[in-house]
Chain A
Amino acid sequence: MATTTQPAENPLTEGLERLPVHPTTLVIFGASGDLAKRKLMPAIYNLAHEGALPERFNLIGCARSDWSDDEFRDVAREAIEKFSRRKPDPTVLDSLLSRARYVPGTFDDPGVFSKVAEIAESEDEEAGIPFNRIFYLSVAPQFFETIAEQLGQTGMNKREGAEVRIVVEKPFGHDLESALHLNNALLSVFEEKQIYRIDHYLGKETVQNTLVLRFANGIFEPVWNRSYVDHVQITASEEVALEGRAGYYDNAGALRDLIQNHLLQLLMLTGMEPPVSFSADDLRDEKVKVLHAIKPPKVEDVHDMAVRAQYSAGNAGGKDVPGYLDEEGVKDGSVTETFAAVRLMIDNWRWAGVPFYIRTGKALARKGTEIVITLKPVPHLAFEQQGSLGVHPNQLILAVQPNEGVSMSLMAKIPGSRMRVRPVNMEFLYGTSFLSQSPEAYERLILDTMRGDATLFARNDEVEAAWRIVDPILEAWSKDTDPIPQYKAGSSGPEEQDSIMINHDHWRQI
């Protein structure tokens, strides 16, 4: 049997904060699009600024716009200057863009892919080493399959002596069937370990901190179970309304846009068992078990565990907001939900009987994403209640945005001669406790892709398991002929959201 000799460890990497990354060529399909301009280009620039890009790095843009290399460089420069979190250093920006190349054309044109291959190969030849290749699909989902096929047909899905990876942006399908189809299409060309499905929530520091909070502190894990936890709420509220995204949003809705991906990811991180290690597969193995433990609802039971609603005209963030149906680009009579709330039960030893409530919505009272773990109340209270605000169960609040941090509500004695109590907060805020500025999620995720670390990316089985939970809800709503409930823009959401709460639970104020 042939054996492979592993190269010796590089002794120079010990203690370095920025570990070496293999020389890389990054190809962005959809390089003229909004995501590329707002997020990807600025992220790449910031990585360059910090010296975090691979020592040798090539950027190739590819899109339909009929640009030359120089025109692409100009567009990229403008985008970076406008959207970068820091003012660009002109010398770094010049150096980054001076070697950037652009290939115009449509994604069904094999000539485009041959040209990309030709450029990438000439760069490798010049350097005398095969670069890793990353194909970033920053395009509408209908092009995912075409691009993957073309990459396969031109033989760019693998490379001797180097790694090839493909990055796919959400949505990963529109429902379970389309997700299965997409995964099969990608897996017919690439191996799963080559596929990086970006869920940018996972690139947020506070989301990653959920794992550190749980598994690096002895105080929480002993109570992190059905014996002590009463219920869990995960909320992602947005103050903004459509902001010109009607084309996408009216076809997607709140459930697909946030719950199927981002919020189920938060649920997985909250509910998972400790992984054996933080390697990509060990972590994702534990995450997906959480989804497997959730029984998909029956279509006829959906009205008991899920609520949808649409915003009506109001005022959010000090601005007048038209009703959803009056927004530009929204189809007449659309029943797309702008608010969705669901109750899920994780049927395993740790969580049996503990409801997980998840909700999201647009045009709500304020912006905020948080995970709230409410503990069970104390069994007996010896203190007098009269004159107190009342004894509340302890809550642990993991704030993802905008107040990144952790707070815990505790009961404390009100100063005075009587034994009266009220809740107080114990808080940790990222902004007050760390010296460094958090990188943008895309910076972290692009770098992880270049490093070959898939820990913060969704695996195919996670995506499919999430659709299995969400699909029956979508089906029930598609059959529902009742008028969709309304909530006023700028409010805390529809009254109907309370209908899915059980055991006298109630939502935290948005």
Chain B
Amino acid sequence: MSPSAQIEGVWSEQDTTPAAVEAALRHLLVEAHTEEHGYVPARVLNTIIIVDRQFKGEIANRLERVGRYHPSRTILVAVEPRRKTMDAYVQIAVEHADGGITVGTESVEIDIGTEHLSVLDTIVDPLLVPDLTVLAWAPHGHRDAIDALRRLVTVVLIDSAQQLNATDAIKRAADVANDAYIVDLAWLRSTPWRERIAATFDPPAWRQSLGEISGISVTAREDSVVAGVLLLGWLSCRLGWEASELIKQDDVYMGSAHGKRQDIKIRLYAQADLEVPGLSGVQIETASGTKLSLDRGPGGLQAKRVTRDGKESTWVVLGASRGESGILGEGIRQALLRDPTYRPALECARQFLGTV
């Protein structure tokens, strides 16, 4: 629920059933229409979020911060070990919009036990708005829940960076991608970097330098190495490099890729002491001696280009940090779009991590 929304109607029941919850949703919708003539239920996205019950408040707070354009029907599944019954709480919230209409969003909170996860699809299926995209997100793991939902969901939101083992994260992403479209927050953290690298080499005079790239190093926070590997995977598949497995030594992944003209030296640094998740710097070198660097800084990315003759140029590539709530909001928005470059990048990333 966004901060400016007002609660319009609520319903709750202990030891309930999906059919009772669905009936409550219908009843609340009719009530809202009766009381508020301009009431229009938002119809954007069904979102199923599976969380550990003890942390559900934290996830609800994260969702609140994604802004006004949140999912229209949210089903928050709170999992509690040893619980045998299902409790549910349904709420319709409204927000006044321009032109005298009132936009309503529906949220359902369901408390279930671990034993219910394998049949989660039969619990949430009746609660979904038909014909809308279904997004599933399990920020606390619960792979079994996502697996149970595979027949229902169109999109799975993951954060590969949440798993400390980059190899496992990439493997899991590739597996889920077989059944659903993946929106990976780790990939979205690399978006501004991908955009800027693309822009840097876009002027016709500099485009040919793409074929001359001879080295690239990426620095990421320790828990965001996957974002770095995905960036390398993206460059590798877009530029037609043959990737080979990176070797990890201490906090550095080292290796190379084979380009059409020359080999590309690759370094991925995992740094523990960075303030925010994601990437913090990218350096690219070309065979002709040009060095380009992009580093996170105030107001955007600090860019520096040094040519072979030592001429240096620095500038700021403007852009605000989206923050973690912004990344999550972007993830939800991306559920309704399709990025054709993620899966090829994921495949190339698997080659860098030797998981093919």
Of the four ranges (under 10, 10 to 19, 20 to 34, 35 or more), the interface on chain B belongs to 35 or more
Chain A 110-128, CB-CB to B under 8 Å as 1, else 0, gives 0000000000000000111
Q: Chain A nearest CB: distance from B275 CB in Å?
A: 14
Q: A91 near B: Cβ within 8 Å?
A: yes
Q: Which of B45, B69, B206, B239 is the one whose CB lies under 8 Å from A436?
A: B69
A403 near B298 with CB under 8 A, answer no
Q: B303 near A: Cβ within 8 Å?
A: yes
Chain A 16-32, CB-CB to B under 8 Å as 1, else 0, gives 11101111000000000
B195 near A51 with CB under 8 A, answer yes
In B32-52, the 8 Å CB interface with A consists of 40-45
B299 near A92 with CB under 8 A, answer yes
In A392-411, the 8 Å CB interface with B consists of 399, 401-403
Q: Chain B nearest CB: distance from A502 CB in Å?
A: 30
In A185-207, the 8 Å CB interface with B consists of none
Q: A289 near B: Cβ within 8 Å?
A: no
Set of chain A residues within 8 Å of B70, measured between Cβ atoms = 435
Q: A8 near B: Cβ within 8 Å?
A: yes
B97 near A55 with CB under 8 A, answer no
User: CA–CA, A54 to B315, complex, Å?
Assistant: 12
Q: A48 near B: Cβ within 8 Å?
A: yes
Q: Which of A23, A53, A368, A403 is the one whose CB lies under 8 Å from B318?
A: A53
Residue on B nearest A45 in the bound complex, by CB:
B318
Chain A 434-459, CB-CB to B under 8 Å as 1, else 0, gives 11110000000000000000000000
B101 near A436 with CB under 8 A, answer no
Secondary structure at chain A's binding surface: helix, strand, loop or mixed?
loop
A437 near B69 with CB under 8 A, answer yes
Q: Which of B44, B205, B235 is the one whose CB lies under 8 Å from A435?
A: B44
Q: Chain A nearest CB: distance from B303 CB in Å?
A: 7
Q: B148 near A: Cβ within 8 Å?
A: no
B299 near A96 with CB under 8 A, answer yes
The interface-forming segment of B17-25, B107-115, B258-266, B336-344 is B336-344
Q: A318 near B: Cβ within 8 Å?
A: no
B208 near A7 with CB under 8 A, answer yes
User: CA–CA, A8 to B208, complex, Å?
Assistant: 8
Given contacts A8-B208, A12-B197, 12 further A-B contacts (CB under 8 A): A11-B210, A22-B202, A91-B320, A92-B300, A92-B320, A94-B298, A95-B300, A431-B101, A431-B103, A432-B43, A434-B44, A435-B44
Q: What are 16 A-B interface contacts by the 8 Å CB criterion? A: A7-B208, A8-B207, A12-B235, A16-B198, A20-B199, A20-B202, A56-B317, A89-B299, A89-B320, A92-B299, A95-B298, A126-B313, A401-B98, A432-B40, A432-B42, A433-B42
Give chain A's interface residues, CB within 8 Å of chain B. 7-8, 10-18, 20-23, 48-51, 53-57, 89, 91-96, 126-129, 161, 368, 399, 401-403, 427, 429, 431-437
Give chain B's interface residues, CB within 8 Å of chain A. 40-45, 67-72, 97-101, 103, 192, 194-208, 210, 235, 238-240, 298-300, 303, 305, 307, 311, 313, 315-321, 332-333, 336-337, 339-342
